[in-house]
Amino acid sequence: MVAASTALGVLVAGMAMPFAFVASSMATDVSEQMEDLPAELEFKPLAQKTNVYSVDGDLIASFYDENRVTVTLDQISKPMVQAILAIEDYRFYQHGALDLKGTMRALISNQAADSVVQGGSSITQQMVKLTLIDQAKDDPDARQAATDDTYQRKLRELRYAIAFEQKYSKDWILERYLNIAYFGDGAYGVQAAAKRYFNKNAKKLTVKEAALLAGMVKNPVGYDPVNYPDRAKARRNVVLARMAQLNVIPKEQATRLQEKGLGLDRQPAANGCVNSPAAFFCDYLYRYLLEDKSLGKTKEERRDLLRSGGLTIKTTVDLKFQKAADESVRKHVFPTDQAIGGLAMIEPRSGDVRALAQSRPMGTKKKAGQTMLNYVVPKRLGDSNGFQAGSTFKVFVLAAALNQGKISMTQQISSPPKMVFNESEFEDCDGEPYGYAPFTMNNSTTSGAKNMYTGTRESVNTYFLQLTKSTGLCEPYELAKEMGIELTNPEGKEPGGGSPERVPTFVLGIADTSPLELAEAYATFAGRGLHCAARPVTSIEDAAGNVLKDYPKDCKQVLAGSVADAVNDVLRGVQEPGGFGYGRGLALPQQSAGKTGTTSDNKAVWFAGYTPNLAAASMIAGANFEGSPISLNTQSVGGVYISSASGSGTAGPMWGDAMKPIAEWLPDEEFQRPSGSEILGALTPVPSVSGMTIEKATKVLEDEGFKVAVGGVVNSNVDEGLVAWSSPGSGSSLSSGDTVYIYPSSGYVPKPKAKPKKKKGKRNGRGRGPGRG
């Protein structure tokens, strides 16, 4: 300690007063001051960048405050170790915390030059200084104390250096130095520098490359090989000459290498999501993890872990799927259009998010259509309230009706072009009528007698409003929430207002949602009623490769498999002859199902579709550059003029162009066919009511679950006024809720008239003539 203190006292005095006489009393004073300093510098792990990988192991993004990947000494090439020792501290393994010879040499050089031209700090001292700067972070006072050119700082650094030398091996100190040193251009540590400048690992660095990096440590900005290649080369050659002087390499090799160019292979050091091949998935993942309280008590702690913990994050995104989604969205909606295109893909029975695509690319150049806002994910993890989903919500009423078993899939319901409904006909969750106001509903497609197949395939509004009367408002609403739609405002009573969601027209998609939510919901049908929450990540490993956290599937059976099978059977009709999807060429080489959606004023159009193993929701929404909703009508979107937007004709092709190339990678699976009882409903035999009074026959039939209608009087031998027969007749099987007609008897059967004899003669001239038939 005394020897080190003496040398330090001499060096500091010599640097501050080059020609002053340094008395031994100064050295004694330094020693006393050092005894009063703390001996231990708390060791903290170095900040390292976090890497994010696709499901196939491709790097998709990195998060960091400092671009660093810590490596062990045996992961650094021998030439790199030799180069850094030669130029910074060639006697590192021979001296202690302070190199006395180096200190005195620096003093003599500085006195001769009458200025500070050479430092005497050992690698251990340099490592201490870099550690203090690193731990100062954004604390201005701590950073000032770590960089001030003062006597006190030198004392403190030396005291810590002595403690390090006593506690740690030389190899450990050198390893930490090579990992903490800054090499310019955002690269911290030798591994990041090797990747940044030469696109290789530190283990593979050659003598020429190592000499360049070693030379940069003294002045990373001034010797930056990108901005100042001549300076960098000159400095590199100094290092090579020093290595030859110390007999680390032959002089001939040094001379030969000095003639060579820098040989850079500079790689971009993308930080964050902007340059990711899955930018909006990356953004969604980052926000998803920031909400995970198991990664830290506060959001700031979780952010620090993500940006400095050196984590390995394994995600669910598939870059093949992502590319197909991106290409389709970019084809159908241009960045500068007054519209936003979004597409989300989810795997059924796992919830794995395979792709998220958006037409406005991530960036800050508004004139180029770029945005930092994520419109594809739920509001809590994105930047949009979402968009009304239109008729894609009809499936929730369809599923609820099947689940309740009150109506068969083939039962016809008269669905005229226009109907007047009353809110009192719709039961709310409390069992009371929703309200008492009348409202009118029109069809925008076809009308007439519809069942579940035709009503859904043709998206008939008056059919589904009548179906909602049967199910009530509560079950479809709650089912949608259970399947992934983040509904939060059922009665419009949230702070600050907001439109109510659980209303009679909920079936028409008046609630806002996102493509990811809708894809998650439709994946539940594909998964035979098993809902799996959207999952962007499967596991996180710490910097040492240990599993920090696993993210298992989060699944729950929310619908009976048979009910989901029935829904799938109905929605297949959209993709088969007669369906809107099929008519637009959206059918895939394998079985698929889907539903269109168009909102009022055509502000947003949707197509949600799926195979047994992949669900996707496609959305195109009119939006100006402030994000405010506008109509798609009379706009040019993707270079195509839209007179009237529709789910099948506008959003559907974007879905199809993304799914068709992916279909070749999907296993060939088929939907499970629903049982006959699911299609036809629970069949009940019609009892015999012949001979009963109208009142008694009505009661018998209603007790069996049928509706009753009285037809006209018919002739029969049954007493007048009693029921002659029913239609369908006794023994027929019908579903509960089907209508049985009963016919009163006239009480007699007229005698048949005698048949007239045939007369011979010419035909009456009303036979088949030319052009008829």
Beta-strand (E) ranges in 551-665?
555-557, 593-598, 604-611, 614-622, 635-637, 640-642
pLDDT at 311: 97
DSSP 647: I
Strands 707-710 and 739-744: parallel
pLDDT at 752: 77
pLDDT band of 455, cuts 50, 70, 90 = very high
The proportion of the chain whose per-residue pLDDT surpasses 90, expressed as a percent, equals: 67
Query: Are the C-beta atoms of 318 and 54 separated by less than 8 Å?
Result: yes
pLDDT band of 678, cuts 50, 70, 90 = low
Which residue would you say has higher pLDDT here, 612 or 113? 612
Question: What domains can you pick out in the chain, each with its CATH number?
Answer: 70-258 (1.10.3810.10), 395-505 (3.40.710.10), 682-744 (3.30.10.20)
pLDDT at 591: 92
pTM for the whole structure: 0.80
Average pLDDT of the segment spanning 231-237: 97
Lowest-pLDDT choice from 9-23, 515-529, 713-727: 9-23
Q: Considering the chain, what is the average pLDDT of its residues?
A: 87
Lowest-pLDDT choice from 168-177, 484-493, 562-571: 484-493
d(CA 79, CA 85): 10
pLDDT at 107: 56
d(CA 51, CA 537): 13
pLDDT band of 579, cuts 50, 70, 90 = confident
For residue 768, how far is the Cα from the chain centroid? 70
Cis check: omega of the bond before 277, within 30 degrees of 0: no
For residue 608, the cross-strand partners are 595, 617
pLDDT at 407: 85
Q: What six digits make up the tokens of 590?
A: 């394998």
pLDDT at 757: 57
State yes or no: pLDDT of 698 exceeds 90: yes
Residue type, 698: T
356: part of which helix (H) or strand (E)? Answer: strand 353-358
Q: Dump pLDDT digits (tens) for 74-106.
A: 999 999 999 999 999 999 999 887 776 666 665
pLDDT at 617: 98
Strands 604-611 and 312-315: unpaired
Average pLDDT of the segment spanning 211-221: 96
pLDDT band of 766, cuts 50, 70, 90 = very low
Beta-strand (E) ranges in 347-499?
353-358, 387-388, 413-415, 418-422, 438-442, 448-450
CA 587-590-596 angle, to 5 degrees, is 35
pLDDT at 740: 83
